[in-house]
Amino acid sequence: MSFAELNLIPALLKGITDCGYTTPTPVQAKAIPEALAGRDILASAQTGTGKTAAFMLPALQLMSQPVAKRRGAPRVLVLTPTRELAGQILDATRTFGRHINPRYALLLGGMPYREQFKSLQASPDLVVGTPGRLVDHLNRGSLDLSRLEILVLDEADRMLDMGFKEDLEKIIAGAPAKRQTLFFTATLNRTMADMAKRMLREPVRIDIAGSKMTLEAIEQRLHVTDNRLHKSKLLQHLVADQDINQAIIFSATKRDADVLARELSAQGHRAAALHGDMNQAARNRTLRDLRQGRIKLLVATDVAARGIDVTTITHVINFDLPMFAEDYVHRIGRTGRAGASGTAISFASAAEGAALKRIERYIGQTLPQQVIAGLEPTRRLDTRPARNSRGPARNNRPQKAGEWKGRGESRGNKDFPAKPRTERKGPVIEYRTRRPEGRTSTPAGR
């Protein structure tokens, strides 16, 4: 299928060609014609599947059509969980939408209000923003959603995860009932499905196994480690690899991100940290330096690194394993972007045995273990499954790479790993109900 078959107008087809896209991705092929026909959409598609163009191209097409009475209110609103994602949506829109060139306002938490008031007074057609700040603007009366024609929720699951449910409800209450809603989520649990049901009218359901696209292009490896010092030594050894063009190194805490970035810089690498405690200007600067190749090694936490779309990243190193298995997929999806291949290397200490098991169960693969001469672990990792564990992992059926069906498709509870049980055997991992940077973090703070 080609883009020309999707009923897109010539100005958009030209923009797409300028971007170098030749064939629509599966989510684009399915969503674009339906959205252009005015249907609501409920799409499960992860980052890396081309979902941004899947919702922005129909939105741009709508904005290319003049309306009689605009009265300064936006026609399209895109809600997204983090400032980085919002920036990337806008960057992508400017690229393939360059021949439409809509007036836009970017309403992000943690950014000065003055610019935002100014851009709202300029009657934007498009508003892209994070939920908290959008609610602030609604409360202040500076944002009017009464003329909204398309509402997009990007990474809706992550917005709920980050505690934006109430804000989303308020925004939806402020939008006209007669609108088109494009609802994109990486995962769809019962809460999400309930919310989608209330928001959408007879939606077209699109299910894209995004993980398949990202995981297939990525070589995954595992190093068993004894302790933090062992991890540091392994990291030092691995980052000397000439094959690394750029790498993101994930740490569990913001403090560790700073410490590791300092250690790597002291070893002579172009390294920097990226986490939610940094102010927005510093985060923007770091991301710009990464894009322009001035940073080779970026040490990041999960929330801060979410949505980073830099095609020159060849390696992801999990210095610490993520607590949630789906974060593993999000992390390694930072490499292998836009058709490139990538390498994902994970360190797992004894305390991370259970987290490793959850990841392997989730992706349906066993991570191949590697050992570096002189840096061998002294212990084996205990990855025994918990007694009474539920779900498909119990049969431990090895699956072929890329065969993974996606989160929860074959599980009772689609969204969360089996709850910890007191009788759990093996290393005890503390479950949390919030992400490490939680609601108090800055990514989309007000």
Residues lying near ligand AMP in the complex (CB under 6 A) are found at 21, 23-25, 28, 47-53, 309, 311, 337-338
Nearest approach, Cβ of residue 303 and ligand AMP (Å): 17
For residues 276 and 258, what is the distance between their CA atoms, to the nearest angstrom? 11
Give me 289's structure tokens.
């330096």
Helical packing angle, 113-121 and 131-140, nearest 10°:
70
In angstroms, give the least distance from the CB of 77 to ligand AMP: 18
Closest contact distance (angstroms) between CB of 364 and ligand AMP is 22
Closest distance of CB 56 from ligand AMP, Å = 9
SS3 (DSSP) at 247: strand
- E strands in 251-375: 271-274, 297-300, 315-318, 342-348
How far lies 110's CA from each of 70, 133, 283, in Å?
Answer: 29, 8, 12
C-alpha distances (whole Å) from 132 to each of 108, 143, 160 are 8, 13, 12
Paired tokens of 149: 């024609």
Give the shortest CB-310-to-ligand AMP separation in angstroms: 9
The distance of closest approach from Cβ of residue 240 to ligand AMP in the complex, given in angstroms and rounded to an integer, is: 28
For residues 350 and 381, is the Cβ–Cβ distance under 8 A? yes
Query: How far apart are alpha carbons 179 and 350 in whole angstroms?
Result: 52
- Chain-centre distance of CA 150, in angstroms? 22
Name the β-bridge partners of 85: none
Distance CA 71, CA 419 (A): 51
* DSSP 8-state assignment for residue 188: -
Q: Which is nearer to ligand AMP, 302 or 360 (CB)?
A: 302
Which C-beta is closer to ligand AMP: that of 26 or that of 174? 26
Tokens of 368: 């191949």
Cα 191 to Cα 375: distance, rounded to the nearest angstrom: 45
Q: Output 288 or 419, the one with its CB closest to ligand AMP.
A: 288
Taking the least distance from each CB to ligand AMP, the nearer of 333 and 385 is 333
| H helical segments located in 207-309 | 210-216, 228-238, 254-266, 280-291, 302-305
Residue with smaller CB distance to ligand AMP, 82 or 389: 82
Q: Residue 446: which of 198, 27, 82, 132 has the closest Cα?
A: 132
* Cβ distance to ligand AMP smaller for residue 52 or 383: 52
CB closer to ligand AMP, 36 vs 252: 36
For residue 129, the minimal CB distance to ligand AMP (Å) is 18
Using the minimum distance from each CB to ligand AMP, give the nearer residue, 28 or 251: 28
Nearer to ligand AMP, 217 or 224 (CB): 217
Select from 187, 186, 156, 158 the least CA-distant residue to 172: 156
Work out how close the CB of 116 gets to ligand AMP at its nearest, in angstroms, rounded to a whole number: 24
Element at 207 (helix H, strand E): strand 204-207
Cβ 53 to ligand AMP shortest distance, Å: 5
Q: How far is the CB of 186 from ligand AMP (least distance, A)?
A: 10
Q: Which C-beta is closer to ligand AMP: that of 210 or that of 417?
A: 210
Phi, psi of 305 (to 5 degrees): -85, -5
